[in-house]
Amino acid sequence: MKRNVKFLLPLLALTLIACTSDGESDLEEMEEMEEPNGPVTYNANIRAIINSNCLNCHSDPTRNGAPFSLTDFQQVSVRADNGSLSRAINKQTGDAGAMPPSGRLPQTTIDLIDQWIDEGFLEQ
């Protein structure tokens, strides 16, 4: 009896370790596959970026010579669809048509907008 227990304990310990590390790698795989906060949407992600970086000029009515307003989903999605939104935010500061003109958005913000466009610019 005593001998059996001695034999089983290391086996039990090994099984536990194996299970634990399996569980961890499963979790990591799931996290890599899933987008952390679901798809990027205008309502959840994009509107706030536009509001704080673009509406100084692309307001309604527009200011500072901006040719159109970007105050709602319809107006932003037209430029997402025709490519001008991504083109403008990806230009280098100082290049003609770089948006915002005062300086490039952080790369993570640009990537998020591009991801939103790639995913079909969902409203919600």
What are the residues binding ligand HEC (CB under 6 A)?
53-54, 56-58, 64-67, 79, 84-85, 87-89, 97, 99-101, 105
Between 15 and 63, CB nearer to ligand HEC: 63
Q: With the CA atoms of 65, 67, 68 and 71 taken in that order, what torsion angle do they form, in degrees rounded to the nearest 10?
A: -30
Consecutive H or E run containing 21 = helix 2-33
In whole angstroms, the minimum distance from the beta carbon of 124 to ligand HEC comes to 20
Q: Is residue 19 exposed (0-12), middle (13-18) or buried (19+ Cβ within 10 Å)?
A: exposed
In whole angstroms, the minimum distance from the beta carbon of 73 to ligand HEC comes to 14
In whole angstroms, the minimum distance from the beta carbon of 100 to ligand HEC comes to 4
**Residue 103 three-state SS:** coil
Between 66 and 112, CB nearer to ligand HEC: 66
